Chains A and B, each alone.
Chain A
Amino acid sequence: MRGRSYLPRPAQRHWADELAGIEPFSFEDIVKDEQAVAGAPSAGDASDGASLFGDLSLTPPEPTVGQVLMEEAAVSPEVLAPPLASGASATAFTDVPSGGSPWGDDSSALRDAGSWPEVVSETSELMDRRESASGLFVRLRAAKRQMIDAGDCVVDRSLRSERAGVPVVNGAGTKPAPIIKGRDDPSLEDRTVQPVAELGLDLMAMRLRLIESREAAQEVATALETAIAQGYSEPLALRVLGEAYLRLGKTEQAAAQFRQAMLGRRRARPAEIGVRS
């Protein structure tokens, strides 16, 4: 395996020259930090803290032109800085007033009124707001139920083979019943699917009437057009309507109905094969 060289390239050597006297990392710093966190400051910690924070002024700078003055009382030193070791904090915050906040005592009300977003650096509010709300599919089912109740959506098809093409109508036959149910919806059994005979559509009798008399074509076509307009889309009905159109000389409309019937059968066929297997 070929070794890799970490020597700086010629173009980077001037950076190496400037940083030559700086040690980027020292294990002694880790020991000092651990002692400070554990609450056992060494003798040198206080002096370190004083040297570190001694030149910092806790008085806010004068705002420059165009700079918005932040509400000082809304920020407490506990928020701004992590807790320090006792020796270091005593040395560093010698100018802090006795109330504990260098900017006054009325900070609690303003702090409670803060409206910062809960998630700052992970994802947006758009992604997180619905985390504790109802699930997506619950909302979708409710929305579709509302659409059906309002008449904006007609449900007359099903992906299941045994229900493919069977219309869903209510007692009046004018508006589909709300059939979208949750799994725990007790009204799941209330689905009102009327058989073909109750709709007054005896398709085989209609075909016989078309064969026996040409005058029945208009009547059959009207009946089937009405049923299909209400959402009835069984392939056989479309085929009978096509035959009626043929009798009436409407060849283009007949061809369209035959094509729709063929597509409907093709759609239902894979699911039927799945049921048999």
Chain B
Amino acid sequence: MMSSVDAVLRDLLRYEEILGAVAINTEGLVMGRAGIDASDADVAGAMGAALVGATVRTARRLGAGLARVLSVSTPDGLIHVHNAGPFAVIVFSEPCDIAALEQICNDAVSQIGSLVQPAA
């Protein structure tokens, strides 16, 4: 049983390809992190919140529905941003199968969601 957001994110590091993970809220504040130092997590939080906001607004303006997942592929790796409404999970990974990574992130997001908004 995971007891904290950090523990959920740390469990993601069991995957060979996943290098780090950050959970942020809608204001860009870091809720938890694993495999990434505090300063990088702060920057990722600030930039990630802006990224999620721009993506959500873009998709909404285009009439494409709610943006859930955003993947930024670079020559060095993959930045996978998973929007979960009140929070988002940013996963940094080696170049890999995005569908498999999304499935893994879904599990982590649901666990964090149960921690953030526990059932009454």
Contacts and interface: CB of A to CB of B under 8 A. Distances in A.
Interface of A: 126-127, 130, 135-141, 143-144, 147, 153-160, 163, 168, 179-180, 231, 267, 270-271, 274
B43 A137 contact: no
B2 to A, nearest CB: 15
Contacts of A231: 14
B103 interface: yes
A126 B20 contact: no
Given A154-B14, A160-B97, 4 more contacts: A137-B92, A143-B36, A159-B17, A180-B16
17 contacts: A136-B40, A137-B92, A139-B37, A139-B40, A143-B35, A143-B36, A143-B37, A144-B13, A153-B13, A153-B14, A154-B14, A159-B15, A159-B96, A160-B97, A179-B16, A270-B103, A274-B97
A230 B87 CA distance: 33
Interface in B1-55: 10, 13-20, 35-37, 39-40, 42-43
A158 B15 contact: yes
A159 B16 contact: yes
> How many residues of B sit at the interface, in one of the four size bands?
20 to 34
Nearest to B76: A137
A232 B20 CA distance: 22
Nearest to B16: A158
Given A135-B76, A153-B10, A270-B99, A144 B19 contact: yes
Interface of B: 10, 13-20, 35-37, 39-40, 42-43, 74, 76-77, 92-93, 96-97, 99-101, 103-104
Contacts of A127: 43
Contacts of B40: 136, 139-140
A158 to B, nearest CB: 5
Contacts of B14: 153-157, 231
B19 A137 contact: yes
A126 B37 CA distance: 14
A140 B97 CA distance: 19
B15 A157 contact: yes
A159 B35 contact: no
B104 A153 contact: no
A231 B20 CA distance: 20
A141 B95 CA distance: 13
Nearest to A148: B13
B72 to A, nearest CB: 11
Contacts of A126: 39, 42-43
Contacts of B15: 155, 157-159
B104 to A, nearest CB: 7
A156 B18 CA distance: 12
Contacts of B92: 136-137, 140
A144 B101 contact: no
Contacts of B97: 159-160, 271, 274
